[in-house]
Amino acid sequence: MRLLTLLIVFILPTFLGAKEQLNILTYDSFTSEWGPGPSIEKSFEEICNCEINWSTADSSGALLSRVKLTNNKEGFDILLGIDDSLMSEAKDTKLFSNHSLSQDSLSSLNIDWSDKIFVPFDYGYFSFIYNSSKLTNPPKSFDELAARDDIRIIIMDPRTSTPGLGLAKWIYQLKGDDSKGFWISLQDQIVITSKSWSDGYGLFLEGEGDVVLSYSTSPAYHAIAESDENYKAILFEEGHAEQIEVLGVLKNAPNKKLAEQFVNFTITKGFQDHIPYGNWMYPIIDGVEGDSDFYKYAPVPNSLDRVYGSAEDKALWINYWSSSID
């Protein structure tokens, strides 16, 4: 009897007070203390009576790989952080379910979006970043960049990094079947092909290259967080390829209802307010906190048409790159 009383007193409240758990798999920097994850977690937990459990992988490329390897036996509800170039491959896994956002909700975004499985949460444009105190006359076009032998370029491996794949897509969009030739002309200047964007950008900051493949939003980070306005994005006349980061609910998610609630939350100010100054990307809704400062340092460049590459397209883009270094 005493035992039963003890059980009631100590264990029952634990069950009664237990909050629902939302398991999100994302890339490392998103949940770091300097990333947007902690603030988003706080905002969402205020409205959901739940707890977010973040799990991380090294990079966005590794996220999809992880759920594919295990068929999501690890029990994630949401995969957050793959980009539009991986969407087709992700859909092929048949691990994701349709989201419940209405077309009206999607039409309120500042980008065109109609996908039924994945929901965007931020976007950006690939760009080359340089330090204006060191490089005084940056190139104005891709062709000029390829012709400038005095410029050391840092890029990322398209097989392991989404910006790397983005560059391969960007070059293909501009050069088409001449991509191989263009890659060959660029190879002499490429001093580092890093595994991930963060490695490559770190090496650029360490002075190992004059320009680095990154996003047009990167200068905003240096200007706002570090008060250093020397870092600038090279804006090419011919336009820039776009990257949209998305999230999706997994079919075998243990807590689908909560996952859907989170997906709805991503297109609200509660989530989007933390994107410009946390993930240093463009928010997908207008009027977020402090966006005027952000856009001042990260003006939106000329955009190329959006391309949703299939697995075959991805293989083709990578092939043009790899055949240039054989």
Which positions lie near another protein, rule CB under 8 A? 28-29, 31-34, 53-59, 61-62, 64-66, 68-70, 73-74, 157, 159-160, 191-196, 198-199, 201-203, 205-208, 322, 325-326
Q: Within 13 Å, how many C-alpha atoms sit on residue 149's CB side?
A: 3
Distance CA 31, CA 37 (A): 4
| Residue 44 Cβ vs another protein, minimum distance, rounded to whole Å | 16
| Residue 293 Cβ vs another protein, minimum distance, rounded to whole Å | 21
Q: Report the residue number, 160 or 267, with the smaller CB distance to another protein.
A: 160
Distance CA 22, CA 19 (A): 10
Tokens of 297: 């340092």
Q: Are strands 78-83 and 190-194 parallel, antiparallel or unpaired?
A: unpaired
Q: Report the residue number, 38 or 239, with the smaller CB distance to another protein.
A: 38
Q: Report the residue number, 86 or 246, with the smaller CB distance to another protein.
A: 86
| Residue 64 Cβ vs another protein, minimum distance, rounded to whole Å | 7
Q: Report the residue number, 190 or 300, with the smaller CB distance to another protein.
A: 190
Q: Which residue in the block uniquely carries the two structure tokens 């902690």?
A: 38
| Residue 53 Cβ vs another protein, minimum distance, rounded to whole Å | 8
Distance CA 131, CA 80 (A): 31
Asked if residue 248 lies in contact with residue 78, where contact means CB atoms within 8 angstroms, the answer is yes
Quick check: helix, strand or coil at residue 20?
strand
| Residue 74 Cβ vs another protein, minimum distance, rounded to whole Å | 6
| Residue 209 Cβ vs another protein, minimum distance, rounded to whole Å | 9
Q: Which residue in the block uniquely carries the two structure tokens 């054989």?
A: 326
Q: Report the residue number, 31 or 179, with the smaller CB distance to another protein.
A: 31
| Residue 161 Cβ vs another protein, minimum distance, rounded to whole Å | 9
Q: Report the residue number, 70 or 303, with the smaller CB distance to another protein.
A: 70
Q: In Å, what is the CA distance from 120 to each residue of 43, 112, 248, 313?
A: 19, 10, 9, 21
Asked if residue 100 lies in contact with residue 322, where contact means CB atoms within 8 angstroms, the answer is no
Residues counted in the chain: 326
Could you give the angle at the alpha carbon of 119 between the alpha carbons of 117 and 123, nearest 5°? 140
Q: Report the residue number, 13 or 207, with the smaller CB distance to another protein.
A: 207
* DSSP at 224: I
Q: Report the residue number, 92 or 237, with the smaller CB distance to another protein.
A: 92
Tokens of 111: 């980008």
Of 26, 79, 117, 175, which Cα lies nearest the Cα of 308?
Answer: 117
- Cα 293 to the chain's mean position, in Å? 21
| Residue 34 Cβ vs another protein, minimum distance, rounded to whole Å | 7
